[in-house]
């Protein structure tokens, strides 16, 4: 398929148009985008890459011995099957599990980012299929991004939507903020991405404008580049996972020097006396106390508190801080600090949880609805907090705490995954392998041979977004994109929708799943609410044909009204928050009532257990990568260009490198009690001493898959991270941080084979 016309399309990292030239896919970013993402360049190589899954494949052991626990997952050979045979086998297995164990034995959480189109969104497709065709599934709640904050924020101030999205906008930062204290920074690599797509990357420009006006940006964190150069920021390196102590000391200084806003605390918060007593109680949370914990000089802490007071200050807390042990605490204490400063609800001031964590934050909301695939209703009530998947599979029937209640893990026989990559997103991958060995059947739809696909029993080849038609849109972006097909499907790949429709037919539920619509029928159906809402407002509302043949449809924004926090500031009684007190809760009787030692009733310093020690003396920061979205398109040009010697680059401070005889460009081995991986050292003082930085997303590549804890030769840090929840309250993912040792790798370098497809065991029938 070659096209001369440029056709619109979209991705989570940016809207674009493309045409198929003789040399392959040519891309150009959306014309309105002032700062397009380099992640676009990962896309062309994907279309025909050797890592693509070309045909349905079934694991040999599963085919020969039938469903059942099997430790050979991930090390077995695959057999290529024709589509009909693979679908017949899978349809029969779905029916067997449903009839013998009930739909509650199927885990269809299927967490993952999938791709930008709103109809082919794989996770929505699998949920709809399991609801409509199987009678439900065990689901997961919350996200790997915001596991802790998603649970605690509604209890103390408001929903994620209200606090992380409809809050302070980038326009307000550019215009009003005077000092912006960014815990965990606001790295552009994160705001470059928004699920559903993004037509304008505005963050760099907004920070530049604010800094030129005189706004002072302060980046608190172990990595210098967590704020862009345009912010002209001060960098305050801090010992990882000690931000709560710094916040408490800033609060203590404000209190001790009477710089806090007592009137705001009295009129808009509940629980201030509890927090005040905690600040003063022994050990008092003074700057000296925090200096010993954070590594930041006490005089500087006091000075920072004074700089914050009486100005238009904005406190931001990045997702990364709460993706760690006791991650609820910095989220809560950041809010409390902002409340003491009294700026919450003012333009460009107060508290914005996760500003810059995604391209959805700091934006205005679109005033009309955006397409979303209805998922039906789930008859199974059981669920797990999303990051507890390995616990669930390893400990069926066992109890666990979550958000004030006690639950038991369900007994899962089948795991169904579409649109996510647990061997990217989960922690302690050797433990995850043991967990996946326990189920009867693991099914994965994938476009490429990720480690998750390699561990599956049935692998069904899925099309890439570029190979299908869809609608791209996000509730924070002003353009709805007709996503036109840019290339023919690779090999025998099919759309997830087509796969599920064929399976639903085998279960006698085809019409319930498809409602008699094909892809174009669904796109028309999903477009209609947007069109109708535009027409109702008297705005241009083209019919589907005109939308489909156009470059993208402009959508109106709602006004920048500051959201619920502005309304609450202006009228605390009339516009009360949806918390028990109707106010910002600086102490919560509800949370105190849960009796959790790991999440008490007010923000508190709880010393982490995973701290550097003799066998693992360095902190590892395993954050989001800058060169791909999570693990997606790791084989693409931008991702590959940043690898060194074919492996992920790990940054280490010159002092730590010298102490270990490591030179820039050396291949190193990172290890701890859970596992080990290789990476290539980049020696840099952009990372603070005592910390190494290895981003996530390099595809897991075990040197010898037959071992229990094989060496990952490619640099996936999740072989090292811990699989424990943030606390009994939220049970969120703690993958951002752990502790490791690093050494220069000596010996024969094992090759990277992450992108080589498995060799089929038998020829296709
Ligand atoms: P992706 O790499 O985006 O990671 O975890 P997530 O699983 O979302 O995986 C998406 C997968 O979907 C890819 O393999 C892609 O090929 C596939 N895919 C894309 N489109 C389609 C489609 O149309 N159909 C099908 N069938 N498949 C498709 C991300 C998760 O990782 C997140 S959100 C966070 S915030 C966490 N972050 C961290 C972290 O900071 N540190 C650590 N250590 N670990 C983390 N894990 C989490």
Cα 643 to ligand 1 centre (Å): 19
Q: Active-site residue 113, yes or no? A: yes
Best mutation site among 47, 108, 113, 416 for ligand 1 pocket (most ligand atoms within 8 Å of CB) = 113
- Residue 527 reports pLDDT greater than 90: yes
Q: In the CATH scheme, what is the code of domain 57-138+389-472+479-512?
A: 3.40.50.740
Structure tokens at 395: 């400990």
- Helix, coil or strand: residue 67: coil
What is the number of other CB atoms lying within 10 angstroms of the CB of residue 375?
17
Separation CA 672–CA 149 (nearest Å): 28
Helices (H), ranges, 419-562: 422-425, 429-436, 451-454, 496-506, 510-514, 519-536, 544-549
* Catalytic one of 62, 113, 235, 400: 113
CA dist list (Å): 136 to 141, 376, 380: 15, 9, 5
Locate the domains of the chain by residue range: 7-46, 57-138+389-472+479-512, 149-365+561-594, 618-744
- With 0-12 / 13-18 / 19 or more C-beta atoms within 10 angstroms meaning exposed / middle / buried, residue 686 is middle
With bands split at pLDDT 50, 70 and 90, how would you rate the model's confidence at 764? very low
Structure tokens at 403: 């958000």
pLDDT of residue 3: 64
Best mutation site among 320, 469, 632, 716 for ligand 1 pocket (most ligand atoms within 8 Å of CB) = 632
Separation CA 342–CA 569 (nearest Å): 10
Residue 595's Cβ-side half-sphere holds a number of Cα atoms within 13 Å equal to: 3
CA dist list (Å): 677 to 2, 434, 581: 42, 18, 49
Percent of the chain with pLDDT over 70: 99
The pairs formed by 294-298 with CB atoms below 8 angstroms and a separation of 24 or more are 294/238, 294/239, 294/242, 294/243, 294/245, 294/246, 294/249, 295/237, 295/238, 295/239, 295/242, 296/236, 296/238, 296/246, 298/249
- Residue 1 reports pLDDT greater than 80: no
Cα 496 to ligand 1 centre (Å): 16
Render pLDDT for 129-143 as a digit per residue (tens, 0 to 9): 999 999 999 999 999
DSSP3 helix / strand / coil % (the chain, rounded to 5)? 35, 20, 50
Tell me the residue length of the chain: 765
* Residues linked to residue 315 through DSSP beta bridges, in sequence order: 181, 351
Mean pLDDT over 648-668 rounds to 98
What residues contact 514, with CB distance under 8 A and at least 6 apart?
501, 504
What residues contact 304, with CB distance under 8 A and at least 6 apart?
181, 218, 250
Domains 57-138+389-472+479-512 and 618-744 share a fold: no
| Ligand 1 atom nearest 323 alpha carbon | 40
CB-CB contact of 474 with 449 (8 Å): no
- Helix, coil or strand: residue 532: helix
pLDDT of residue 22: 87
Separation CA 415–CA 106 (nearest Å): 6
* Catalytic one of 13, 62, 111, 527: 111
Q: Which residue has the tokens 């920072």?
A: 304
Render pLDDT for 311-322 as a digit per residue (tens, 0 to 9): 999 999 999 999
Cα 584 to ligand 1 centre (Å): 34
* Residues linked to residue 26 through DSSP beta bridges, in sequence order: 19
Mean pLDDT over 651-679 rounds to 98
Best mutation site among 112, 148, 494 for ligand 1 pocket (most ligand atoms within 8 Å of CB) = 112
Residue 719's Cβ-side half-sphere holds a number of Cα atoms within 13 Å equal to: 26
- Residue 2 reports pLDDT greater than 90: no
Strands of the sheet with 350-353, listed across from one edge: 234-236, 216-220, 179-183, 313-317, 350-353
With bands split at pLDDT 50, 70 and 90, how would you rate the model's confidence at 765? very low
Residue 668 main-chain phi, psi, to 5 deg: -125, 160
Q: How far apart are the first and last CA of the chain?
A: 28
Atom 28 (ligand 1) nearest CA: 419
Strands 179-183 and 216-220: parallel
Structure tokens at 607: 């010393």
Structure tokens at 709: 């804890």
Strands 479-483 and 553-554: antiparallel
* Per-position DSSP letters for 432-449, written without gaps between them: HHHHHTTSSEEEEEESB-
Average pLDDT of the chain, as a whole number: 97
What kind and span of H or E run contains 594?
helix 589-594
With bands split at pLDDT 50, 70 and 90, how would you rate the model's confidence at 760? confident
pLDDT of residue 518: 98
Cα 555 to ligand 1 centre (Å): 28
Render pLDDT for 189-238 as a digit per residue (tens, 0 to 9): 999 999 999 999 999 999 999 999 999 999 999 999 999 999 999 999 99
- Residue 144 reports pLDDT greater than 90: yes
Atom 25 (ligand 1) nearest CA: 419
Mean pLDDT over 609-620 rounds to 98
- Residue 653 reports pLDDT greater than 80: yes
Best mutation site among 56, 421, 489 for ligand 1 pocket (most ligand atoms within 8 Å of CB) = 421
Residue 611 main-chain phi, psi, to 5 deg: -120, 155
Cα 425 to ligand 1 centre (Å): 6
Strands of the sheet with 14-21, listed across from one edge: 7-11, 14-21, 24-29
Helices (H), ranges, 33-137: 60-65, 83-101, 122-129
Annotation: CATH topology of 149-365+561-594: Dimethylsulfoxide Reductase; domain 2 (3.40.228)
What residues contact 161, with CB distance under 8 A and at least 6 apart?
none
CA dist list (Å): 296 to 240, 307, 317, 338, 655: 12, 16, 18, 20, 19
- Residue 761 reports pLDDT greater than 90: no
Cα 622 to ligand 1 centre (Å): 15
Mean pLDDT over 280-306 rounds to 98
Separation CA 653–CA 626 (nearest Å): 19
- Helix, coil or strand: residue 207: helix
Dihedral of alpha carbons 651, 654, 656, 659, sign: positive
Q: Active-site residue 6, yes or no? A: no
Cα 520 to ligand 1 centre (Å): 27
- Residue 83 reports pLDDT greater than 70: yes
| Ligand 1 atom nearest 452 alpha carbon | 14
Strands 649-652 and 618-621: unpaired
pLDDT of residue 303: 98
| Ligand 1 atom nearest 460 alpha carbon | 26
Name the nearest CA neighbour of 336 among 600, 597, 157, 179: 157
| Ligand 1 atom nearest 319 alpha carbon | 35
Mean pLDDT over 105-114 rounds to 96
Mean pLDDT over 462-467 rounds to 98
- Ligand 1 pocket (Cβ < 6 Å) reads 112-115, 120, 122, 144-145, 323, 418-421, 424-425, 445-448, 450, 462, 496, 622-624, 629-632, 696, 717-718, 721, 735-736
* Residues linked to residue 152 through DSSP beta bridges, in sequence order: none
Render pLDDT for 45-79 as a digit per residue (tens, 0 to 9): 999 999 999 999 999 999 999 999 999 999 999 99
* Per-position DSSP letters for 536-557, written without gaps between them: HTTS----HHHHHHSS-EE-PB
Separation CA 341–CA 292 (nearest Å): 25
Atom 47 (ligand 1) nearest CA: 425
At the top level of CATH, which class does the domain 618-744 belong to?
mainly beta
Mean pLDDT over 641-651 rounds to 98
What residues contact 515, with CB distance under 8 A and at least 6 apart?
none
Which DSSP category does 42 fall into? G
Separation CA 700–CA 709 (nearest Å): 12
Cα 632 to ligand 1 centre (Å): 7
Percent of the chain with pLDDT over 90: 98
- Helix, coil or strand: residue 87: helix
CB-CB contact of 257 with 217 (8 Å): no
């Amino acid at each position: 398929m070659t096209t001369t016309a440029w056709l619109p399309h979209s991705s989570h990292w940016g809207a674009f148009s493309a045409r198929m030239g003789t040399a392959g896919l040519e891309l150009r970013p959306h014309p309105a985008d002032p700062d397009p993402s380099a992640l676009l360049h990962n896309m062309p190589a994907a279309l025909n890459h050797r890592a693509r899954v070309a045909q349905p494949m079934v694991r040999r052991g599963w085919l020969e011995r039938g469903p059942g626990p099997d430790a050979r997952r991930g090390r077995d050979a695959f057999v290529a099957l024709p589509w009909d045979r693979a679908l017949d086998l899978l349809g029969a297995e779905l029916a067997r599990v449903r009839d013998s164990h009930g739909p509650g034995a199927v885990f269809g959480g299927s967490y993952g980012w999938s791709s930008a189109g709103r109809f082919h969104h794989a996770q929505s497709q699998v949920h709809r299929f399991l609801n409509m065709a199987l009678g439900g599934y065990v689901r997961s709640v919350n996200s790997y991004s915001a596991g802790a904050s998603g649970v605690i924020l509604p209890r103390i101030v408001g929903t994620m939507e209200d606090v992380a999205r409809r809050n302070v906008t980038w326009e307000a930062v550019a215009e009003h903020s005077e000092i912006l204290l960014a815990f965990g920074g606001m790295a552009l690599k994160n705001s470059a991405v928004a699920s559903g797509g993004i037509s304008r990357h505005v963050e760099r420009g907004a920070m530049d404008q604010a800094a030129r006006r005189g706004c002072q940006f302060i980046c608190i964190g172990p990595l210098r580049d967590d704020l862009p150069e345009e912010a002209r920021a001060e960098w305050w390196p801090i010992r990882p996972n000690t931000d709560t102590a710094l916040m408490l000391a800033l609060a203590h200084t404000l209190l001790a020097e009477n710089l806090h806003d007592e009137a705001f605390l009295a009129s808009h918060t509940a629980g201030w006396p509890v927090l005040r007593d905690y600040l003063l109680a022994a050990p008092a949370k003074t700057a000296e106390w925090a200096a010993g914990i954070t590594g930041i000089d006490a005089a500087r802490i006091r000075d920072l508190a004074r700089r914050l007071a009486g100005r238009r200050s904005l406190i931001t807390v990045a997702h990364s801080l709460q993706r760690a042990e006791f991650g609820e605490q910095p989220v809560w204490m950041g809010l409390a600090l902002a409340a003491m400063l009294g700026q919450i609800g003012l333009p460009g001031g107060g508290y914005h949880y996760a500003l810059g964590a995604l391209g959805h934050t700091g934006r205005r909301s679109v005033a009309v609805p955006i397409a979303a695939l209805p998922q039906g209703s789930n008859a199974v009530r059981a669920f797990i907090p999303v990051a507890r998947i390995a616990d669930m599979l390893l400990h069926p029937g066992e109890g666990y705490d979550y958000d004030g209640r006690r639950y038991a893990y369900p007994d899962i026989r089948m795991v169904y995954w579409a649109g996510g990559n647990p061997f990217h997103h989960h922690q302690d991958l050797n433990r995850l392998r043991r967990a996946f060995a326990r189920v009867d059947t693991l099914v994965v739809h994938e476009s490429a041979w990720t480690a998750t696909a390699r561990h599956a029993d049935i692998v069904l080849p899925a099309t890439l977004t570029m190979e299908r038609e869809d609608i791209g849109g996000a509730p924070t972006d002003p353009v709805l994109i007709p996503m036109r097909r840019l290339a023919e499907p690779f090999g025998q790949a099919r759309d997830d929708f087509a796969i599920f429709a064929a399976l639903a037919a085998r279960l006698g539920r085809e019409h319930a799943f498809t409602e008699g619509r094909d892809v174009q029928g669904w796109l028309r159906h999903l477009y209609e609410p947007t069109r109708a809402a535009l027409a109702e407002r008297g705005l241009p509302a083209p019919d589907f044909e005109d939308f489909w043949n156009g470059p993208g449809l402009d959508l109106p924004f709602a006004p920048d009204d500051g959201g619920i926090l502005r309304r609450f500031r202006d009228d605390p009684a009339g516009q009360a928050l949806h918390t028990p007190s109707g106010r910002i809760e600086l102490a919560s009787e509800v949370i105190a009532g849960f009796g959790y030692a790991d999440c008490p009733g007010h923000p508190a310093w709880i010393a982490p257990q995973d701290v550097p020690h003799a066998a693992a003396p360095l902190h590892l920061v395993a954050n989001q990568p800058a060169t791909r979205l999570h693990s997606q398109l790791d084989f693409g040009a931008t991702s590959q260009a940043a690898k060194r010697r074919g492996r992920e680059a790990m940054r280490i401070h010159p002092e730590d490198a010298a102490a270990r005889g490591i030179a820039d460009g050396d291949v190193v081995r990172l290890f701890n009690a859970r596992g080990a991986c290789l990476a290539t050292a980049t020696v840099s003082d952009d990372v603070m001493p005592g910390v190494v930085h290895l981003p996530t997303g390099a595809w897991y590549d075990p040197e010898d898959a037959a071992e229990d804890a094989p060496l990952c030769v490619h640099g996936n840090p999740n072989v090292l991270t811990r699989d424990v929840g943030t606390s009994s309250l939220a049970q969120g993912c703690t993958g951002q941080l752990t502790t490791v040792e690093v050494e220069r790798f000596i010996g024969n370098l094992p090759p990277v084979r992450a992108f080589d497809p498995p060799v089929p065991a038998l020829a296709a029938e």
